[in-house]
Amino acid sequence: MKLLLGHSPDADDAFMFYAMAKNLVNLRGHDYEHILQDIETLNRRCQATELDVSAVSFHAYTKISDHYALLPCGASFGDGYGPCLVAKKKYSREEMKKLRIGIPGLLTSAYLTLQLYLGLPHGSFQAINIPFDQIHQAILDERVDAGLIIHEGQLTYQEEGFTLCEDLGAWWARDTQGLPLPLGGNVVRRDLGLKTISEVTETLRESVRYALDHRQAGVRHALPLSRGMDEKRTDTFIGMYVNDLTLDFGPRGKAGLREFMNRAKAQGLIEKIPD
């Protein structure tokens, strides 16, 4: 079966899907067409059920769970780190509530975490939707006062002259007594049936395990998508988001996701908690 597979054009996703892209694991008779687009575009495409398998934000999953099943592997958690609020100077949480903040997409888990952090729902503060790779420049151009940085920008913002106002993953860990922050997962269309869903799950798990077991080859495969980072820093970034929690949520991952969804629902930030 031909399957449209969406994932981000980033080093961690490239590493995760390396073995599938290079046919180094058992694809179980499926032909995957890899589509590389930013996470917010993938979120929107899954809302329109355009992709068979895709990386999505956990925030977006609350809106597409009727049509997509969440896989138990392939997830990215921030374990004591995560999306970073940065600016030209230090701002407090109370000051942030009154500022223009560049965000990488309304359906991203980063934005949902920001709402939890500020204690404010969408529409009650100035969130400016900007492609994730343009937020840095928007701060420099003073189109926004602060920005919510994801992907490799979490490692490079200081070199670009920005000040950290809050690491939302670190805040989440402090506020939840050490739970990991759920950011993104992988989903598959429910109407493909249980057999195909199972096959996709096992292939993805094998792909993650293969990359972890052949780390140098996987990192070098991902290097062209690391946006200027050298091999050592790319390896560091990949290790942040592709690890044991990616192979399987495990008890900590499930507890983090449960807490994330429960808090968002209690504050009226999402309509429902998926099964």
Q: Strands across the sheet with 163-167, in order?
A: 126-129, 100-103, 146-149, 84-87, 163-167
Q: What is the pTM (predicted TM-score) of this model?
A: 0.95
pLDDT in tens, 73-90: 999 999 999 999 999 999
Percentages helix, strand, coil for the chain (3-state, rounded to 5) are: 50, 20, 35
Assigned CATH for 2-77+181-266: 3.40.190.10
252 sits in the region (left: phi over 0; alpha: psi -120 to 50; else beta) called: alpha
The number of beta carbons lying within 10 Å of the beta carbon of residue 266 is 11
Rounded distance between C-alpha atoms, residue 139 and residue 100, angstroms: 10
Q: Is 81 helix (H, G, I), strand (E, B) or coil?
A: coil
Tell me the CB-side half-sphere exposure of residue 192, using CA atoms within 13 A.
21
Q: What is the CATH superfamily name and number for domain 84-175?
A: Periplasmic binding protein-like II (3.40.190.10)
The pLDDT confidence band at residue 43, using thresholds 50, 70 and 90, is very high
What mean pLDDT value characterizes the chain? 96
Enter the DSSP assignment of 71.
P
Choice among 136, 151, 214, 221 that is catalytic: 151
151 assigned to active site: yes
Task: Kindly list the distances between the CA atom of residue 223 and the CA atoms of 198, 237, 238, in Å, as whole numbers in the listed order.
Answer: 30, 11, 10
Domain boundaries, the chain: 2-77+181-266, 84-175
Average pLDDT (220-239) is 93
Q: Are 10 and 151 in contact (CB under 8 A)?
A: yes
Same fold, 2-77+181-266 and 84-175: yes
Whether 227 has a pLDDT exceeding 90, the answer reads: no
Burial classification of residue 262, based on how many CB atoms lie within 10 Å of its CB (0-12 exposed, 13-18 middle, 19 or more buried)? exposed
The pairing of beta strand 163-167 with beta strand 100-103: unpaired
User: Do residues 61 and 186 lie in contact, with contact meaning Cβ atoms separated by under 8 Å?
Assistant: no
Confidence category of residue 136, pLDDT binned at 50, 70, 90: very high
Structure-token pair, residue 51: 């992709």
Q: Which carries the bigger pLDDT value, residue 154 or residue 257?
A: 257
DSSP structure class, residue 78: E
User: Residue 153: what pLDDT?
Assistant: 80
pLDDT, tens digit, for every residue of 51-69?
Answer: 999 999 999 999 999 999 9
Question: Which pair of tokens denotes residue 196?
Answer: 């195909």
- Dihedral of the CA atoms 242, 248, 250, 254 (nearest 10)? 80
